[in-house]
């Protein structure tokens, strides 16, 4: 999930299907904050259309009607930011449907309001604080997956904790290890600035891990991964049980008018409260 998106170089006169592919590529990088999985891979996004004026219309749904409002708003905001980074995009509308707060969230998104402005006194905490909390959890999940892989591959605790970021990038590992290193490095800056000689493995406060308690540290982080894996499986099960994923969903949200260029209708859904 990107907090702030950079504008991508303009590519004029690009065919609509190419633009849609770019939109989906952007959405692929938007993560469910709790599960650290792509909203597209979780089947949350049901439509991503672009009209002749370069305006993008996104619809998404979640597994339950009562999914936490701040989670839903955060994902919608991250989708908007990610797609807005495409230089040809003239505007982005994101619509949530089939959710207890769909109308309120959609109205706030349409007006460009923040979560606090949308919910007023009902808003509990800052969306930025929530985003940071779950970025740290994502960092921990990715870190423990990589640490487990390196330990299983025979690397000693002393070797692991002594690695710099440069050395980690050059470490001989198998294909799975390469993927885990890449995913880990994508979240490493959440807990500290990156530099070539910075320690590869640090805790949530940015302190280098220590050899003598690495095993206990890894054991403690495994609970983060287990909980997330359980919640991910539960989310997929709830989504599949609630919606026919093989048939296009017919939306029911009442908020936001249909764009005449795309004849786009809102359709989205909901999700569980954070666990």
Residue 225, pLDDT score: 66
Tokens of 125: 């905490």
CA distance 78 to 32: 10
Tokens of 118: 């949308």
Please give the backbone phi and psi of residue 96, each rounded to the nearest 5 degrees, phi first: -100, 140
Give the alpha-carbon dihedral of 108, 111, 117, 121, to 10 degrees: -40
Sheet holding 55-60, edge to edge: 45-50, 55-60, 91-96
Residue 199, pLDDT score: 97
Residue 4, pLDDT score: 44
CA distance 194 to 183: 15
Query: Of 263, 256, 258, nearest to 76 (Cα)?
Result: 256
Matching residue, tokens 């004026």 = 53
Q: Residue 116 CB: number of other CB atoms within 10 A?
A: 16
Q: Is 91 helix (H, G, I), strand (E, B) or coil?
A: strand
Tokens of 42: 């979780």
Sequential DSSP letters for 93-137: EEEE-SSTTHHHHHHHHHTT--HHHHHGGG--S-HHHHHHHHHHH
Residue 175, pLDDT score: 97
Give helix 69-84 / helix 16-28 axis angle, nearest 10°.
130
CA distance 51 to 6: 22
Sequential DSSP letters for 172-229: ---HHHHHHHHHHHHHHGGGS---TTSBS-B-TTSPBP-GGGHHHHHHHHHHHHHHHH
Residue 240, pLDDT score: 79
Q: What is the pTM of this model?
A: 0.75
Mark the ranges of the chain whose per-residue pLDDT is less than 50: 1-5, 7-11, 248-275
Q: What is the 3-state secondary structure (H, E, C) of 239-269?
A: HHHHCCCCCCCCCCCCCCCCCCCCCCCCCCC
Cβ-contact 57, 251 below 8 angstroms: no
């Amino acid at each position: 999930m990107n907090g702030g998106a950079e504008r991508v170089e303009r590519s004029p006169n690009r065919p609509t299907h190419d633009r849609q592919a770019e939109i989906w590529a952007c959405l692929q990088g938007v993560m469910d904050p709790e599960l650290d999985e792509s909203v597209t891979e979780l089947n949350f996004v049901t439509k991503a259309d672009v009209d002749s004026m370069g305006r993008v219309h996104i619809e998404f749904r979640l597994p339950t009607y009562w999914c936490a409002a701040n989670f839903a708003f955060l994902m919608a905001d991250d989708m908007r930011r990610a797609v807005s980074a495409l230089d040809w995009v003239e505007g982005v509308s994101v619509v949530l449907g089939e959710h207890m707060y769909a109308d309120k969230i959609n109205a706030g998104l349409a007006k460009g309001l923040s979560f606090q402005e949308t919910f007023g006194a009902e808003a509990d905490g800052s969306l930025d604080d929530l985003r940071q909390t779950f970025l740290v959890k994502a960092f921990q999940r990715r870190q423990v997956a990589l640490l487990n892989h390196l330990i299983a591959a025979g690397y000693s605790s002393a070797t692991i904790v002594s690695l710099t970021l440069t050395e980690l990038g050059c470490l001989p590992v198998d294909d799975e290890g390469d993927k885990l290193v890449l995913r880990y490095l994508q979240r490493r800056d959440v807990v500290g600035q990156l530099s070539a000689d910075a320690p590869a493995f640090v805790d949530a406060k940015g302190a280098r891990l220590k050899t003598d308690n690495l095993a206990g540290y890894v054991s403690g982080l495994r609970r983060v991964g287990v909980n997330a894996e359980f919640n991910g499986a539960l989310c997929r099960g709830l989504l599949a049980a609630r919606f026919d994923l093989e048939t296009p969903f017919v939306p029911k949200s009442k908020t936001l008018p249909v764009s005449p260029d795309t004849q786009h209708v809102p359709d989205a859904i909901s999700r569980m409260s954070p666990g």
